[in-house]
Amino acid sequence: MVAENWIGSSTSVSGPFGTGWKIWQVPTGESFMEIDNIRVRNEMRVHIFKKDVVKVANGYLYIANADVLSEDVAVPASGTFTIYTTENALEVGDLV
């Protein structure tokens, strides 16, 4: 399907769970392409490459190694709870 400022499949749906494909241009002149997969045989040059960018505002973001929950827990009315994980998951000095 071809429209005034984009070309793509007629069933194109944007977003991480979208379908189809689409190439479009916004009024500022920037061009965008949304597809499912890219296969490059020789060389791919990019000025900025971003993968799964996470942004946080007005708070803290803490990312740590994952662990396995050893049992299900229910949140009590007080809103606080304790999660028991596998042995040695936390070490002395770790902030929780």
Residues 59-86 have pLDDT tens digits of: 776 666 666 655 566 666 766 555 555 5
Half-sphere exposure of 11 (CA within 13 A, CB side): 3
pLDDT of residue 50: 76
| pLDDT above 70 for 18 | yes
Name 80's Cβ contacts closer than 8 Å, sequence gap at least 6. Answer: none
Question: pLDDT tens digits, residue range 35-59?
Answer: 988 888 999 888 887 777 777 777 7
Helix (H) or strand (E) run with residue 7 in it = strand 6-8
User: Is the pLDDT at 27 greater than 80, yes or no?
Assistant: yes
Strand ordering across the sheet containing 22-25: 6-8, 22-25, 31-34
Residues 89 and 83: beta-carbon distance below 8 Å? no
The confidence score (pLDDT) of residue 69 equals: 56
Threshold 0.85, pTM exceeds = no
DSSP state of 28: T
